[in-house]
């Protein structure tokens, strides 16, 4: 049985990387993250291109059919996926996808040393994409200078973030604020060391004070990977203070769902079913322990070559929580899709599928 009337995955990567790992004896894994950031589509590749990106929507559509997922939000991510490929996926599958805008080309040009990074250029690129059909938000995370190699002061970073919020306000769209981290093999990006907003989700409250009209989505709800819960606590702290701050709970295990669900100041309408479809973090299973499962990169297992099954695991955890708490189906329908439909203004067959009341 389908778990909800209309299911929306709010965190999806429909593009994938292919690297020459097995073709080159001297391939340096330590450089892989940087090469992924500057990866290009096959048509743009040359002989010395080590990493390419490609449209992986065929596998995505198959999983959507398998798990009865109705719509997905496509994210470029921080690893070089392009707005253009996401646009093509949207156009080829009407009514199935929307996307987030990200200054992909600006960041790639800076990373390659072709152009100096400026927040003006990044905002200009996002402004252009947000004017196109199907682009409904900014993210994943808040754009940053990929050439920064030492920690930024919060005052300096905050000025950059204000510019991004200005763009979001102009287009009346939400901003995605990245939370959580991976503890397995290193990413090589230094995001969490260099950018305060990646370190501390509570800083989002300062931007909400200045931009009360701009909704914020906490990517992963503080739990991208590992079992460490302090970022979840910080995200819940902000969400409990602002009713248009949203938590993606797709990567939560059943007991972790109690944190936002039991907080009287976090409304059910603030929860989104966002996972990380397309990423490569296998499920870690440890029966009898707490938590019994979580997501992470495991060094000794090597790089996963298969398509990780996020949705099967996530739906099982959500169903486990719902059964234990006898969660009303109308509430579950909001988490699985109704909240995303409202937040992203999605076209659906019938908006009365989701819980709503009229004041009398």
How high is the mean pLDDT in each 10-residue block of the chain (360 residues)?
A: 96 89 57 72 74 93 98 89 96 98 94 94 98 97 93 97 98 97 65 89 98 98 94 98 98 98 98 96 94 90 90 97 97 98 96 92
Residue 21: what pLDDT?
62
Q: Smallest Cα–Cα separation from 51: which of 61, 42, 62?
A: 42
pLDDT of residue 30: 56
- Please name each of the domains of the chain with its CATH number: 8-353 (3.20.20.140)
Q: Are 209 and 170 in contact (CB under 8 A)?
A: no
Closest to 170 in 3D by CA, of 211, 216, 115, 219: 211
Residue-wise pLDDT for 205-246, tens only, equals 999 999 999 999 999 999 998 899 999 999 999 999 999 999
Q: DSSP letters along 80-142, please?
A: T--HHHHHHHHHHSTTTEEEEE--HHHHHHHHTTSS---HHHHHHHHHHHHTSTTEEEE-SS-
Task: Note if the bond before 291 is cis, omega within 30 degrees.
Answer: yes
pLDDT in tens, 187-207: 545 777 899 999 999 999 999
Q: What is the pLDDT of residue 49?
A: 72
């Amino acid at each position: 049985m389908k778990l909800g009337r209309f299911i929306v995955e709010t965190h999806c990567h429909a593009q994938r990387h292919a690297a020459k790992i097995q073709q080159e004896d001297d391939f340096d894994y330590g450089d892989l993250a940087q090469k992924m950031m500057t990866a290009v589509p096959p048509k743009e590749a040359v002989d010395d291109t080590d990493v390419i990106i490609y449209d992986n929507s065929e596998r995505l559509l198959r999983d959507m059919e398998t798990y009865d997922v109705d719509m997905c939000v496509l994210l470029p991510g921080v690893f070089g996926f392009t707005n253009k490929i996401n646009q093509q996926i949207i156009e080829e599958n009407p009514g199935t996808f929307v996307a987030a805008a990200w200054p992909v080309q600006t960041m790639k040009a800076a990373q390659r040393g072709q152009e100096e990074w400026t927040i003006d250029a990044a905002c200009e690129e996002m402004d252009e994409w947000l004017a196109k059909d199907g682009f409904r938000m900014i993210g994943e995370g808040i754009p940053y200078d990929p050439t920064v190699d030492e920690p930024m002061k919060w005052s300096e970073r905050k000025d950059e973030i204000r510019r991004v919020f200005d763009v979001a306000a102009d287009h009346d769209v939400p901003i995605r604020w990245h939370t959580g981290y991976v503890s397995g093999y290193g990413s090589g990006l230094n995001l969490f060391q260099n950018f305060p907003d990646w370190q501390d989700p509570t800083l989002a409250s300062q931007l909400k004070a200045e931009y009360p009209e701009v909704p914020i989505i906490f990517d992963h709800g503080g739990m991208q990977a590992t079992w460490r819960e302090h970022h979840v606590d910080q995200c819940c702290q902000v969400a409990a203070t602002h009713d248009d701050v949203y938590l993606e709970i797709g990567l939560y295990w059943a007991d972790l769902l109690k944190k936002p669900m039991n907080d009287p100041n976090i409304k059910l309408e603030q929860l989104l079913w966002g996972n990380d479809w397309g990423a490569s973090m296998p499920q870690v299973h440890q029966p009898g322990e707490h938590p019994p499962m979580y997501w992470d990169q495991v060094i000794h297992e090597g790089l996963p070559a298969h398509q990780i099954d996020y949705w099967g695991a996530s739906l099982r955890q959500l169903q486990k929580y719902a059964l234990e708490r006898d969660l009303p189906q109308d509430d579950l329908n909001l988490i699985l899709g109704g909240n995303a439909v409202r937040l992203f203004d999605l076209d659906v067959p019938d908006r009365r599928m989701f819980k709503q009341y009229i004041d009398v």
